[in-house]
Structure 1
Amino acid sequence: MELHIMAAANLFLSGARVNRDFREALFDAANRAGVTPNEFCITAAAEKLMASGRRFPGVFQANDFEMVGVLPARDAA
């Protein structure tokens, strides 16, 4: 088995201003998914990138999005 090690890069998300209702909805959704608001935002960005055809190796593995509760599992009835 060949191991590929990806270089890590810091991602600082700051400076965004939103209204209180959006902030509360974001924090609630992240909490329900069991992740931080930052992780929730990164996952949402990854979903959008993937939907637009962008592909990137590294952080995300198969079923990561289902695991955090952001998308329903494909096999769920």
Structure 2
Amino acid sequence: MKILGVVLILAGILGFVFGGFKFKETDKVADIGPVEINKEQTHSFPVTPIASGAILLAGIVLLVVGAKK
């Protein structure tokens, strides 16, 4: 439980710092002989400060509960 608590604390802090993450997806549109056409899209996944705070709090609770045992 301690390890999960530390991971959640780090995830909560990273959520506050970065506010989400972005990733790119490349799709093949056409492949005609030697010519290949690709389309690249950027997607974003925002993480709200409330969610980051909840993740951070859950990590702290798990760390405290793990320390009491």
Using structure 1 for the length normalisation, give the TM-score.
Answer: 0.27
**Higher strand fraction (1 or 2):** 2
Greater Rg over alpha carbons, structure: 2
Q: Identify the structure with the greater helix proportion.
A: 2
Higher relative contact order at CA 8 Å, sep ≥6: structure 1 or structure 2? 2
